[in-house]
A and B are shown apart, each in its own frame.
Chain A
């Protein structure tokens, strides 16, 4: 049984990959295809719960002009990825305490020097 977190991710993946806004029914059918028809059938209400959570997190927005409502991702996967990678690569100021990077404490210049040193060692 997939957790709500897994479902949130699957729903976001579907919304990011689709060009047009999706209804909860569309999403349920696509999720059933992805996860296969075995096991418990995914209820539309579950999808609506997930969508409500994502809306609360301001990740999806709802077009209310039609019935049933159609859902759309607020920002693209690429924008989220850029934000994630900027933090992961230390491009964001004042975030030293947030995460511990493998190359922590070494400047790009020093790493370039390291490469040169190892380079010279090989040619000597």
Chain B
């Protein structure tokens, strides 16, 4: 039991700091955002589990050789069974810490879910007054405003895709199709639940490197997944054109303007290959010559210079690691005899 608690503590520390720092600098994540998301979830789950588990197992150590017998002994302490092993103050302290962390995490999750639901409801009420259903796009509403914006509002009672008049005016049919496919992917794949979980993880432990890095990484990875869904329907050029069009709504002006961007990307019927700044779709190419190499946004880099998907062996390694991350702390908690 004691060895198991130290194992859990070690794992908790690794998952709280070095592991997320390394993963957040990894470049392969943009080549397989799905497995990267799995790994981040495993890190968060295993991190929470081993953090709570370390204190729990350490506190219960005098009461039994595994979790079940120890909990049975703990019940004896609680009910005041005569002859039951008594806990020292420091063991009670460890158990209380485990209980506090667990309670804090659950409470923060509920509180975050409540806040987000309330803010969504408020936004929905505003939309109900200021938007009308789109005649051409089912499930989408249009806000009469000249700034180009596109987003989706997830919800358990029907989700909404919201487009502004400015967006509809600045995009052609293909560009619009890309935006819609992107937003629908967010809704279909329930990215809102992932974002909510990592948002509350961050709210609960804001000083922990893992919670901050994980939240940022998850936000970027779900955008990549949604981009991939959109790329199933439109070309990279169209998707980039849409991003540029929407960026105009953020007050980003550097003189180039929409016309310049459109000229760069070329109209669909003109010889795009000759002037396109985009890298060919195959092979990563030379690092220095890769367009977008200086960008820190992995999402933009992979759109400008797509790298091939992570090989099966690589993806299998990541998935195997994710499974191990969950299995090891669970075993250390429930059946420490199997590990040590």
What residues of chain A have their CB less than 8 Å away from a CB belonging to chain B? 5, 8-9, 12, 57, 59, 77, 80-81, 83-85, 87-89, 95-108, 110-122, 124
Main secondary structure of the interface of A (DSSP, over half): helix
Contact for A9 among B129, B191, B219, B263, CB less than 8 A: B129
Interface segment, B56-64, B92-100, B147-155, B326-334?
A: B147-155
Report the minimal beta-carbon distance from A36 to chain B, rounded to whole angstroms: 18
Complex alpha-carbon distance, A80 and B277, angstroms: 41
Chain B residues whose CB sits within 8 angstroms of the CB of A84 once the complex forms: 123, 126-127, 130, 143
In the complex, which residue of chain B has the Cβ closest to the Cβ of A107?
Answer: B297
In the complex, which residue of chain B has the Cβ closest to the Cβ of A97?
Answer: B199
Complex alpha-carbon distance, A106 and B260, angstroms: 20
Q: Is the CB of B244 within 8 A of A105?
A: no
Q: Give B261-280 interface residues, CB cut-off 8 Å to A.
A: 261, 263-265, 275-278
Chain B residues whose CB sits within 8 angstroms of the CB of A106 once the complex forms: 223, 243, 247, 297, 299-300
Q: Is the CB of A114 within 8 A of B295?
A: yes
Which has the most chain A C-beta neighbours within 10 Å: B132, B192, B300? Answer: B300
Report the minimal beta-carbon distance from A119 to chain B, rounded to whole angstroms: 5
Q: Is the CB of A85 within 8 A of B145?
A: yes
Q: Is the CB of B251 within 8 A of A88?
A: no
Complex alpha-carbon distance, A23 and B6, angstroms: 74
Complex alpha-carbon distance, A73 and B183, angstroms: 33
Annotate B189-233 by CB proximity to A: 1 below 8 A, 0 otherwise: 001100110010000000000000000000110110010000000
Q: Is the CB of B149 within 8 A of A105?
A: no
Q: Is the CB of B186 within 8 A of A100?
A: yes
A84-B123, A106-B299, A110-B295 as given contacts; A100 in contact with B244, CB under 8 Å: no
Chain B residues whose CB sits within 8 angstroms of the CB of A102 once the complex forms: 149-151, 179, 182-183, 242-243, 246
What residues of chain B have their CB less than 8 Å away from a CB belonging to chain A? 112, 116, 119-120, 123, 125-130, 132, 143, 145, 147, 149-154, 162, 164, 179, 182-183, 186, 191-192, 195-196, 199, 219-220, 222-223, 226, 240, 242-244, 246-247, 249-252, 254, 256, 260-261, 263-265, 275-278, 291-292, 294-297, 299-300, 304
Q: Is the CB of A104 within 8 A of B263?
A: no
Q: Is the CB of A101 within 8 A of B292?
A: no
Report the minimal beta-carbon distance from B299 to chain A, rounded to whole angstroms: 6
Complex alpha-carbon distance, A119 and B278, angstroms: 11
Q: Is the CB of A119 within 8 A of B145?
A: no
Q: Is the CB of A99 within 8 A of B196?
A: no
Chain B residues whose CB sits within 8 angstroms of the CB of A117 once the complex forms: 277, 291-292, 295, 304
Chain A residues whose CB sits within 8 angstroms of the CB of B112 once the complex forms: 97
Q: Knowing that A9-B128, A121-B278 are A-B contacts, what are 16 other residue pairs whose CB atoms are under 8 Å apart, sorted by A's residue number?
A: A88-B149, A97-B199, A100-B152, A100-B183, A100-B192, A102-B149, A102-B182, A111-B243, A112-B252, A114-B247, A115-B261, A117-B292, A117-B304, A118-B264, A122-B263, A122-B277
In the complex, which residue of chain B has the Cβ closest to the Cβ of A88?
Answer: B149
Complex alpha-carbon distance, A105 and B252, angstroms: 15
Contact for B219 among A105, A115, A120, CB less than 8 A: A105
Sample (8) of A-B pairs whose CB atoms are under 8 Å apart: A8-B129, A9-B132, A88-B162, A97-B112, A118-B244, A118-B261, A121-B276, A121-B291
Complex alpha-carbon distance, A3 and B112, angstroms: 32
Chain A residues whose CB sits within 8 angstroms of the CB of B183 once the complex forms: 100, 102
Chain A residues whose CB sits within 8 angstroms of the CB of B222 once the complex forms: 100, 104
A106-B300, A121-B291 as given contacts; A98 in contact with B260, CB under 8 Å: no
Q: Is the CB of A112 within 8 A of B275?
A: no
Complex alpha-carbon distance, A95 and B122, angstroms: 12
